[in-house]
Structure 1
Amino acid sequence: MGVGPWVGPWPDGDHWDRELLAGGDRRNVIDRYRYWTREAIVEDLDSSRHEFHVAIENWQHDFNIGTVVRNANAFAAQAVHIVGKRRWNRRGAMVTDRYQHVHHHPTVEDFVDFAASEGLSVVGIDNLPGSVALETASLPRRSVLVFGQEGPGLSEAVREVCSQVCSISQFGSTRSINAGVASGIAMHTWVRQHVFETERACGADGADGAL
């Protein structure tokens, strides 16, 4: 994976990393960011991140957090919020945490205060009684998607502050899917509703205006 040293005259610009140009770039980044400095990549991502945030509870050192961070990077979430223990296993993130904003909230109250200060609707993702099917739910544009601890799911404290709780429809024998997988499905749902459908609507408007 990756590319070797830059061939030919070096390009100009502060976003280029001279060590990578000389030695090659074998990081887990898309081709657009080859040979860029980490700071330049983060700055560029910050210019186009989406409006949703992601949070996951971490009371028992959940091994899904790395996957959640990796998914958040893939879907350009504003930030990931870890509620509970600060330490988490970064292996599953595949180094994407270097390019994704990750914040820690020691208590649910701290997390709720942050969400309120940013005007974010707290949307729980869990297969709880009375939950709304994610496939038919409308996710708020300004929202934070919250995932519970593997096993027990969302804590009671988080359930109480959710504006809505959405479940992911399942058709097999298992009671649940892990939080890492669920996070990817939920983030893609937000992107489908607020990016793809918006683009389709703009395209339709443009077509009507051209007539």
Structure 2
Amino acid sequence: MREDIIAGRNAVIEALKSDRTIDNIMIAKGDVKGSITVLLALAKEKGIIVKEVDRRKLDQISENGNHQGVIAYVTPYKYVELEDILNYAKAKGESPFIIILDEIEDPHNFGAIIRTAETCGVHGIIIPKRRNVGITPVVYKSSAGAIEYMKIAKVPNINTTIEYLKKEGIWVYGADMDTETHSYEADFSGSAALVIGSEGRGISKLTKEKCDLLVKIPMRGEITSLNASVAGGILMYEILRQRITRG
């Protein structure tokens, strides 16, 4: 999957607003209405070249044709180090709030998690270098531009990283439907890292054992599992709620 393009109006606009390096932007010929005018103004302000091309060219470049008439060529996403996430929380004077993804493979889920994490004040997301989707155009599109404001670190080993975070005084929670503790019963008000498992397998057995506490979301229906991004979103908002109400 390509990491040198961003497709979609909102995603490109957010990239323009951030410090992202954009080489050039291509828009479909004749498509200069609505949010495209905002995009063109931002591009002009930053001195970025905008080319009008046939829409079919954009279809060929994008992975799924869902580009909304806009594609930007960018430098590949720059991942951060774990320490950068911790230092970012420290600089803001806040207790660390981190998301750890255990082999999320669906780029739409990853993008949705990034978007929710940004709105909840998460300081950074940690993903494994292997068996986890990276930052792709689909992830950019699904995050609706939130990726530009989220620090993401790739680590060789999730379990080693969890051990390190625990030594730094961060409590590690795992999302798991087989536990007895409901999310509203847990105390998320301090430094917290939330582990979200893969779409099909959930959190791996060893990673579960590394967590300080496993929590589940209350459910009453016949369906016993949720989409990874939905489950993660519910838990992130519970953590945010408690951080606001409990200080």
Conserved 8 A contact 2:110-2:133: no
Conserved 8 A contact 1:78-1:101: yes
- 1:71 to partner: Cα distance: 0.8
Deviations 1:130-152 (A, max 9, x none): 33011222225111010101111
Question: Normalising by the residue count of structure 1, what TM-score does the alignment of the two structures yield?
Answer: 0.67
- 1:113 to partner: Cα distance: 4.0
- 1:78 to partner: Cα distance: 0.9
- Mapped to 2, the partners of 1:122 and 1:84 lie a distance apart of 20
* Cα pair distance change 1:87/1:152, threshold 3 Å: closer
* Cα pair distance change 1:52/1:59, threshold 3 Å: closer
* Cα pair distance change 1:197/1:139, threshold 3 Å: closer
Identity in percent: 21
Aligned residues: 169
RMSD across aligned C-alpha pairs, in angstroms? Answer: 3.3
- Mapped to 2, the partners of 1:22 and 1:60 lie a distance apart of 33
Higher strand fraction (1 or 2): 2
- 1:84 to partner: Cα distance: 4.7
Partner of residue 226 from structure 2, selected from 170, 177, 182? 177
- 1:116 to partner: Cα distance: 3.2
- 1:171 to partner: Cα distance: 1.2
1:75-90 equivalences under 5 Å are: 75-85=120-130, 87-88=133-134, 89=136, 90=139
Question: Does residue 96 of the first structure (1) align with residue 122 of the second (2)?
Answer: no
Deviations 1:11-50 (A, max 9, x none): xxxxx99726999xxxxxxxxxxxxxxxxxxxx9974766
Question: Which runs of 5 or more residues in structure 1 are unaligned?
Answer: 8-15, 24-43, 199-211
- Mapped to 2, the partners of 1:143 and 1:61 lie a distance apart of 24
Q: 3-state SS of the aligned residue for 2:150?
A: coil
1:53-202 equivalences under 5 Å are: 53-58=98-103, 60=105, 63-85=108-130, 87-88=133-134, 89=136, 90=139, 91-128=141-178, 130-198=179-247
Question: Which runs of 5 or more residues in structure 2 are unaligned?
Answer: 1-33, 50-87
Question: Does residue 19 of the first structure (1) align with residue 45 of the second (2)?
Answer: yes
Stretches (4+) displaced over 4 A: 20-23, 59-63
Question: Normalising by the residue count of structure 2, what TM-score does the alignment of the two structures yield?
Answer: 0.58
